[in-house]
Amino acid sequence: MENYFCQKVDLRSRAAMVQFLTSHFRYNTMNSWNNSTSYANNVKVNRIIPREHQDQAYNLLEQEAVFHHIHVLFSEWAEQYHYRWHAGFNGRSGGYIVLYQGQAESPKSGPKSYCLECGQHNFKLVPPENPTPEQRLILLVHQNQTWRDAVIYENNEELIKNLGFEREAALAIFAAEKRKISQGAGEFSSSNKCGKCHAPARVNYETPPTRFNIFPVRSTDMGEDFHSEDWDMESLRDRVRLVQSFDQLCDQVRALFIAYCKDYRVEEVEVMVPQKRKILKPVEV
């Protein structure tokens, strides 16, 4: 991968590091009127994509799969910095990648599954493909959470007995599962169907993803005096390495986009969308 944004900096030289940081391109973290800027790179198609691929690149701007891949790169990069730093698009047409400050969180609630086709998160678990007898009882709880345990048993008594459970054992499983749900263990959906693309391709996370906050109103090093005593040599090196890493991430995005231009073409296909309509039908007598 060629270096388009990333450049070498002499980390032994204070002057070289200060020059790199103060001359780096910057852009708004929110809006121009917000007067908050951070390190950034211009990634507009006519700026970074070779002329022979630009028509294809403009077509790719409408493809969700491409940007899903890019956001995976962003997420993996942020994880390296424990989500204290993030990269994101900004500008009216999303033509700039900006370095943002952030903070990681670990809430009990969060996405429990995701779609392998489109990447959509879902806050419910995918049910087991071949549930055990006990898991089948647990699924009854998730399908009928508003019912009292005794009602769940009465309405499914024959099934529960066929699974080998007596009434008291089944009620104990129901109660235990409801406690887990109340403690944020997660609920099961009825199938693995994705709510966005409708593909039967949802799977559960082995480890739920870390939640995080991004602070777009915060500037980074805006008007900073790198000659002050607060910036010793090691602090300067750390900041230069961070910005170099950010620039390298932008180079990865550029290389990914060019690879899509070379390896794929955008075709227009006709998609039939089912619709529900109300029609008149004669009354059967």
Overall number of domains in the chain: 2
Side-chain-facing half-sphere of 84: CA atoms under 13 Å: 5
Q: Is residue 240 part of a domain?
A: yes
In order of 11, 97, 189, 211, the CA distances from 37 in angstroms are 24, 12, 43, 24
**Percentage with pLDDT > 70 across the chain:** 98
Chain centroid to CA 42: 23
Shared-domain flag, residues 82 and 50: yes
Q: Model confidence over 172-215: pLDDT tens digits?
A: 999 999 888 887 777 898 899 999 999 999 999 887 777 778 88
Is-contact 271 80, C-beta < 8 A? Answer: no
Q: Model confidence over 146-166: pLDDT tens digits?
A: 899 999 999 999 999 999 999
Shared-domain flag, residues 99 and 138: no
Q: Is residue 151 part of a domain?
A: yes
Q: Is residue 115 part of a domain?
A: no
Shared-domain flag, residues 226 and 256: yes
pTM: 0.63
Q: Whole domain around residue 175: which residue ranges? A: 127-188
